[in-house]
Chain A
């Protein structure tokens, strides 16, 4: 065994990646979550990414924990400390360790291959043997092996065991025997590491004070919470990765906040549809009837829902669709992330259709934009697409605590009530009384004067069936006016200008944000200065077009093969498309700054003027 310090290149405090390779279904998730939470509790900013297969048991899975003292939000794409718990992937895992890094493995069985790299230190800890000696049944031994590596990592990096203990206590509550067993396993690893590797690794965890006022939460949970705070009462869904946890979250929050303790009555209704077509149909039915309604899904679900989306667009029914994007096409990579449904959602359904899209970049925005989505759906009486993705939706992100303004009142849009209907002569559903493209609607059962017929077939401003060309055009022309108006109501872009003057910029969207911000720093260090605009809504706000026109060259950074954001920018603004340069990452992994820096540098090198 090599001396640990000998191969280490440098001491890195709170700035390295701990990557754990596991077998899916072995209960490693809670151990890995425990490690990340403990680091977070020590005040060290973390980025956690779960790379999991579309499988219940047996396939390889990885969990990355990046300690980032500078509070970056993206993956780094490196692995300084690998915990290799899956023999199937040993070779790959060893290859992935950064030079000067470390690999911890279960040395119950000899693994000379893992010592093959000169520049990587392999650390054997007999996890299985120790657990087999202490624990009884097979399942417990497997689970406790995970806890044992938590202890070993703590012993090697200086992770505070008291913090871990506090978390274990919270995790198991009153189940004293589980606390005891888990702590016993953690101590097995800890003691072994301290005894056999008394010199600490150069990869260190040290307490900081950089996580106060922050939480660790995933975007689906935060969006679900947004649905609760928006006052959504109806949700329909068909289970699909990676959106499922959004409805799980909504259900659990509603069980907590919306059940009458005396009567057991529930102030919400969740229906698991027979498919996505039914799910969106239900949400549309509830929206038509005046409730705030939504359906969470992913790309394949949007494909199935398309006919109904056109109906809600043309019939002008409010509904919110959460598209937690995953890699396509077709079934694609169900457990990998992408931003590949942008053009699909923007123009979903046959015929001339244009939709309103919102792009959150992190769980905090998921919470806030979920609320905005319902306001926009009712104000504009149309489907709203909340465009999140697997990376935002399913990974825990460190974000500032969510806040709520108790003075908020939902924007229910133009709905005529009983008294207003009583007072008017005649009600016409699609009469543009205010000239803003948004007409008044009524709810069933309120007043006979408010009755109208919602249809997907040709209709005139009165709501009557028509095949008359002029009457048909009048309605569809108003719809596009209404859509354009939404540009002033969707969340505006976030613009970050660099200190030095520049004619170049980045435009990006959603979960690429963290990687772009880190890439800007890296590029700046190379002398490449760029401004940055993050799009948050579609149709594009006027600021987006103005930003593009003030730059000679704009790198459009996004996670899909075809440059879909670029397509929308070209299609919906007057920008000269030649100045929009795509920088794309569609490998299915959470974005890291590398592809951005490399993509931009390669382009500049080509031009021969890399600053």
Chain B
């Protein structure tokens, strides 16, 4: 089997500011199961990139191993992608990002990739405040190896055969919050209207932006006993904050000033408008965010939206005082001290 290109028909489709249609942001055909939540995330990424009018080659797609990690081939075929080893995408992203911060780094991971084998790298990429969009396509189960529990499976959630999980789940949003992420969101793959603005906002956030997307596995975890099925997620998901992203191109006028939205200008351009659906939820309050996620009200509510935002932390580039010109574009002459400097330096070794 080889990878299949998608038939390319873009007649009559609307074009963005670069003159590209949404089809220009697609990749090869998905080989995931029909109805997989991950394909909806792929579609949301294509849509967000197209809407933002970003050049497809300005993205660098990074992933590890698993169903989710395969999806980097399914969007933006005109950008470079690297599909490395299981759970180690954050390190590859770190090195790539360090030497060229001008690209949009899109990391796609899964609950196995980020919360088990790659838990350490996930944590440390957050600590370094790597400027990237980090999506976890979270379905509570290992798909490619046919249905073992992952570390995000809820206690009591069962396999297809009815065996319940008895280990405590790892919540990537709580982890990201405690580790210092400046942009923490949760979404549901079945709600594109929520996901697309979150992806756009995350791409514009300068720093580590994580979106944990509940993305049901139709083959191994979409049954009555599962807490990550479509039915369960539809029933219990609850947006805490409604997010709109407005690019600067369509600068707002005074007429929206009274809509009750909190407005946040992002460092990389554009404005976020956050409207609370729960009157007392403040996405600037980390302690409240953690508390809200930790409260188990018995209803199994899945709280979604932009859960936390802090735009004021220096990203890895700022912390390391990296130059304006990316390191991978510095001329050799700027890096080599030369013969005379070497001679002078060696006085200390005589």
Interaction A to B: yes
Q: Do residues A445 and B2 form an inter-chain contact, with CB atoms below 8 A?
A: no
Q: What are 30 pairs between A and B in contact, CB < 8 Å?
A: A216-B350, A234-B327, A257-B341, A269-B320, A274-B121, A280-B91, A281-B84, A281-B121, A285-B93, A286-B99, A288-B82, A288-B92, A289-B60, A308-B85, A308-B88, A315-B84, A402-B342, A443-B328, A444-B80, A444-B96, A445-B60, A445-B103, A447-B57, A448-B57, A448-B79, A450-B80, A453-B72, A457-B83, A460-B2, A465-B73
Does A524 have its Cβ within 8 Å of any Cβ on chain B?
no
Centre residue among B3, B82, B85 by max chain A CB count within 10 A: B82
The residues of B that contact A278 with a CB separation of less than 8 Å are 88, 90-91, 94, 120-121, 124
Does A228 have its Cβ within 8 Å of any Cβ on chain B?
yes
A236-B94, A278-B120 given; name 5 further pairs at CB < 8 Å: A217-B349, A225-B342, A257-B337, A285-B92, A289-B100
Chain A 418-456 per-residue mask, 1 if CB under 8 angstroms from chain B, else 0: 000000000000000000000000111111101111111
Contact pick for B336, options A229, A442, A453, CB 8 Å: A229
The residues of A that contact B345 with a CB separation of less than 8 Å are 225, 256
Residues in chain B within 8 A of chain A (CB atoms): 1-3, 28, 55-58, 60, 62, 72-73, 77-85, 88, 90-100, 102-103, 120-121, 123-124, 128, 320-324, 327-328, 330, 332, 334-339, 341-343, 345-346, 349-350
Does A275 have its Cβ within 8 Å of any Cβ on chain B?
yes
Q: Do residues A233 and B82 form an inter-chain contact, with CB atoms below 8 A?
A: no
Interface set, chain A 40-63, CB cutoff 8 A to B: 41
The minimal Cβ–Cβ distance linking B42 to chain A, given in whole angstroms, is 15
Q: Do residues B96 and A288 form an inter-chain contact, with CB atoms below 8 A?
A: yes
The minimal Cβ–Cβ distance linking B130 to chain A, given in whole angstroms, is 10
The minimal Cβ–Cβ distance linking B14 to chain A, given in whole angstroms, is 20
* Known interface pairs A404-B338, A455-B83; A444-B103 also in contact (CB < 8 Å): yes
Distance A260 CA – B330 CA, assembled complex (angstroms)? 13
The residues of A that contact B336 with a CB separation of less than 8 Å are 228-229, 231, 408
Contact pick for A281, options B3, B80, B88, CB 8 Å: B88
Chain A 259-299 per-residue mask, 1 if CB under 8 angstroms from chain B, else 0: 01001111111010111011111111111111101000000
Residues in chain A within 8 A of chain B (CB atoms): 41, 214-217, 225, 228-229, 231-234, 236, 253, 256-258, 260, 263-269, 271, 273-275, 277-291, 293, 307-308, 311, 315, 401-406, 408-410, 442-448, 450-457, 460, 464-468, 471
The minimal Cβ–Cβ distance linking A259 to chain B, given in whole angstroms, is 8
Q: Do residues B95 and A285 form an inter-chain contact, with CB atoms below 8 A?
A: yes
* Known interface pairs A281-B92, A447-B57; A267-B330 also in contact (CB < 8 Å): yes
The minimal Cβ–Cβ distance linking A324 to chain B, given in whole angstroms, is 19
Q: Do residues A456 and B83 form an inter-chain contact, with CB atoms below 8 A?
A: yes
The 6 closest A-B pairs by CB, nearest first: A281-B91, A285-B95, A282-B95, A444-B80, A286-B95, A215-B349
Distance A232 CA – B328 CA, assembled complex (angstroms)? 10
Distance A453 CA – B72 CA, assembled complex (angstroms)? 9
Q: Do residues B84 and A282 form an inter-chain contact, with CB atoms below 8 A?
A: no
Q: Do residues B92 and A284 form an inter-chain contact, with CB atoms below 8 A?
A: yes
The residues of A that contact B97 with a CB separation of less than 8 Å are 285
The minimal Cβ–Cβ distance linking B58 to chain A, given in whole angstroms, is 6
Contact pick for B82, options A277, A445, A454, CB 8 Å: A454
Q: Do residues B327 and A456 form an inter-chain contact, with CB atoms below 8 A?
A: no
The minimal Cβ–Cβ distance linking B306 to chain A, given in whole angstroms, is 28
Q: Do residues B85 and A231 form an inter-chain contact, with CB atoms below 8 A?
A: no
* Known interface pairs A215-B349, A445-B60; A403-B91 also in contact (CB < 8 Å): no
Q: Do residues A453 and B88 form an inter-chain contact, with CB atoms below 8 A?
A: no
Residue of A nearest to B91 (CB): A281
Distance A406 CA – B343 CA, assembled complex (angstroms)? 12
Q: Do residues B79 and A444 form an inter-chain contact, with CB atoms below 8 A?
A: yes
The residues of A that contact B96 with a CB separation of less than 8 Å are 285-286, 288-289, 444
The residues of B that contact A406 with a CB separation of less than 8 Å are 338-339
Centre residue among A236, A289, A290, A456 by max chain B CB count within 10 A: A289
The residues of A that contact B2 with a CB separation of less than 8 Å are 460, 464-468, 471
The minimal Cβ–Cβ distance linking B29 to chain A, given in whole angstroms, is 11
Q: Do residues A266 and B91 form an inter-chain contact, with CB atoms below 8 A?
A: no
